[in-house]
Each structure stands twice: as C-alpha cells, then as structure tokens.
Chain A
Amino acid sequence: MANWVPLWLHRLGSPPVFYRFAGAVRPWALGLALVLGAVALYGGLFIAPADYQQGDAYRIIFIHVPSAWMSLFIYGAMAVAAFIGLVWRIKIAETVAMESAPIGAAFTFITLVTGSLWGKPMWGTWWTWDARLTSELVLLFIYLGVIGLYHSFEDRRQGARAASFLVLVGAVNVPIVHFSVNWWNTLHQASTVRLLGPSHIEASMLWPLLTMMAATKLYYIASLFARVRADLVASEGGKGWVRDLLAGRAGNDPA
C-alpha cells in the first residue's frame, strides 16, 4: 500500500488542491526562512572570525555564495518542471516553471551585484571577463529571455509552453556555455582569484553558509508558492473553486 505517494502527487496536480497545499506550506516556509536567515547573518557577520587575508570583506560570501547556488538550483527546478509540463501537459508544472523564472533571475542578479561589490576592493575591479562571471551573466540573459518569451504571447498557456521549451534549450546550452567560456578564458588570461579554492573552509564560517543556503531554499519555496497561488487565481478566475473561495472570503455577501 505504498501508492499514496503517487496518488498524493497526482492530486497535487489539481489547481484547487495545490492552492490549499501551497497556502498551508507558505507561512511555515517563509517563517523558517526568515529565522534561519537571521541566524545565518548573525553567525556570518558577528560570530565567524575575520579572514586573515581579506579581513571583513569576505563576509559577503554569506549572501553571494547561497545566491549563486540558488541561481543554478532554480534553473534545475525550472527545467524539471518545464519538462513535466511539456510532456504530460500538467498545468501546475507549467505555472511552477514560469513563476520560478523571476525568482531565479533575482538570485542571479543578486549574485552578480554582490560579486561586483566584493570584487571592487578585492580584485580592484567590479567586473572582469572571468569564466564564472561571464557564465553567470549569460544565465541571467537566459532567465530574461524566458520571462520575455512567456509574456509576449497573448495566450498564457501557449506562452508557458513556448517558454518551457526555451528553458529546455537553455538547459542544454548552459553546460556548453560554461565549458566554452572556461576554454576561452584560459586561452587569453592567467588564472584569476578563486572564491573558495581547494582550501578547506573554517567550520565557524561553514555553518552560517549552510544555514543561509537552507534559508534561501525555503525562501524560494515561500516566494514560489505565493506567486503560483496568485497566478492560479488569475488564470482560473472563471472556475467554480475560485468563485467559492472569493465568496467564502467575502463572508455572507448576497451577490
């Protein structure tokens, strides 16, 4: 009797069920994200010792590195959702993929901004054509292309399917870009500074980093669920369950 998992997942594909599930999970995810984020920031900014070489400037990694992880993690999640949406035509999966894109773009943007803030005092320049920087910038362009394509269609579902296809094309492209940019960089300039390098990170620096990673993941879930709920209400406006929902919220409105 282990088939309750697929059964539950199957039921989750229905918009009203997902709406209620997301509504129940969201406050917990958001609360935990805020608490863990606060703990991680305290640990990173006050408890962890200053770096012997970089001083206090290294502390930006507690924002920068989790954001960079999330920029790739969200792309992976988005690609999986896009694939499911294209193959099985599940509406929820399409919505999840499309609503992930702005969050992923935001994390990518934060990664680039914090990286350049750190690079200005450390490298002496806020931008260099390093392989990692360049592939992160290309990733931002892919996110923006997905968002732009989604919004250029009149029909939302058709736009979601076209943009999902672009997500999959991008998923093939991202490793190629990363590889080719590495090749290009090593051809032209000497090795640049690595953020963490092969050296081991001190434990008092590691735990805030991992806590912040958990916080960003939970924040992604909370933000995604809020966006998906809003999108479901907007796109299913004519359906019975949305009308029931609105009627229930309005109390004993005679209309």
Chain B
Amino acid sequence: MRPGSTPAACAALLRRDLTLAWRRRGDIALPVLYAVIVATLFPFALGPDPALLSRIAGGVVFVTVLLAILLSLDQLFRADIEDGSMEQLMLAPQPLALLVAMKILAHWVTAALPLIVVAPLLAGMLKLPPEVIPVLVAALLLATPLLSLMGAVLVALTAGTRRSGMLLALMLLPLCVPVVIFAAGAVAAAQEGLPWIAPIAWLGAGLALALVLAPLACAAALRIAMDT
C-alpha cells in the first residue's frame, strides 16, 4: 500500500481534529466562559470607575486570553497520547512537523478563535474605547497563534510526564513575556493616539518565525518526550 500524499494526510488530520472538537462542543465553550469570568472579576476587585477600567482594559483582556489558552493547551496532545494515535503519527511517512502543525492549527481554531470573537465584548465591558477595538482584535489575531505555537512546544516537552499543569505555566511565562509586551503595547499606543503599527509588525515578525520553527521544535520535543 502506498502512503497517501502529505497534503491529503494533513487535511485528513485537520478534519479529524475539528470533527472531534465539534462532537464535544461543550469543551470549546469552557475557555470562553473562563475568560468571561476572569474579566468580570476585575471590576469587582478594582471598583467600577470607568477611567481606571479603560486604562487597564487592554492588558486585562490579553492576560485573560493568555490564561484561557494556557488552560486549554494542556489537552493539546493528551488524548492522542493516551489512545496511542500519537505513536501512529510519529510512525507515519509524512513529516511529523507538518502533522503537528495541523494539530496546532486545529487547536487554535477551537480554543483561540472563540476567545478572539468574545474579546471585543470583554473589552467593551471594561470600557475600552470603541475605536481601539480593531487594534485589539488585530493584536489578538497575531498574538494567539504565537501563543499556541510556543505553548505546543512546551506541551510536547511535558508529554511524557504525569503532572504538567503548573509546570506548563512556569515554562510558558518567560516565552510569552515578549508577546504580552508587544500586544498590550499596541493597544496602549492606540489608546494614547500614538502610532501602533510597530508593535503589530513585531508580532507579525515573531509569528512568521514561530510558524517556521515551532512545528519543527515541537516535533523534536515530542520525539524526546515520547522516547521510552
């Protein structure tokens, strides 16, 4: 039997992951619900002063989205490792980096995209000026794939371990510092009426770099962590 072509394998894997996620739609809603709850807690903790809220809104939305993604990252490879399909992917004749990239893409579509949809709502609740919201969405569109890609490398490294939730947070923090700085920096600059294109461009550059390197690193990390 000849192996299928690489694009066909990638498409099949993407379709499988999206179908699996669609069958369990409730799980998709959980990170969104978590983000809404966290964002709702801030006005209670800081007081309902609109001036204060609008100043911190951009940062709060980014940190909330980051935490929600972190929460969902833990599940990225778990089911596949438990039922043995990850071993099959590693044995497949297609390059593992591409297959892993498809899994990351599916994760981004199911976990991050709903968050981006709900982010303007959160920002509105926190009194972010409406004219800044397009910048917020643009920054999120570039920052969330970056977080998914970098998080996937770390999740792959912890694939062979039992407890990984807290460890993942500890390892992801240094990696996401630049992302948070540039993403929140763009929103803050837009809010002050300054040019905001430079941090967005840096995010785009980082995303281009991560798109190429992260799947390769993720595949290498999976081979290390699953090598028993």
Contacts and interface: CB of A to CB of B under 8 A. Distances in A.
Does B bind A? yes
A217 interface: no
Interface stretch (B1-9, B69-77, B216-224): B216-224
B158 A165 contact: no
Contacts of B23: none
A152 B167 contact: yes
B67 interface: no
Given A144-B170, A145-B170, A153-B161, A176 B228 contact: no
A147 to B, nearest CB: 10
A142 B174 contact: yes
Contacts of A144: 170
A169 B153 contact: yes
Contacts of A145: 167, 170-171, 173-174
A166 interface: yes
A28 interface: no
A161 B177 CA distance: 25
A153 B225 CA distance: 9
B160 interface: yes
A142 B189 CA distance: 29
Main secondary structure on A side of the interface with B: helix
B174 A173 contact: yes
Contact of A152 (B154, B161, B182): B161
Interface stretch (A47-55, A179-187, A195-203, A225-233): A179-187
Interface size class of chain B, counting residues whose CB lies under 8 Å from the partner chain? 20 to 34
A177 B158 contact: no
B181 interface: yes
A114 to B, nearest CB: 22
A125 interface: no
A148 interface: yes
A158 B189 CA distance: 45
Contacts of A214: none
Contacts of A169: 153-154, 175, 217
B180 to A, nearest CB: 9
A182 B220 CA distance: 31
B162 to A, nearest CB: 7
B170 A165 contact: no
B182 A165 contact: no
A170 B160 CA distance: 20
Contacts of A110: none
Contact of B221 (A152, A162, A180): A162
Interface of B: 153-154, 157-158, 160-164, 167, 170-171, 173-175, 177-178, 181-182, 185, 189, 202, 206, 217, 220-221, 224-225, 227-228
Given A148-B167, A169-B217, 15 more contacts: A138-B177, A139-B174, A141-B173, A145-B170, A148-B170, A149-B157, A149-B158, A155-B228, A158-B225, A161-B227, A165-B221, A169-B154, A169-B175, A179-B178, A181-B178
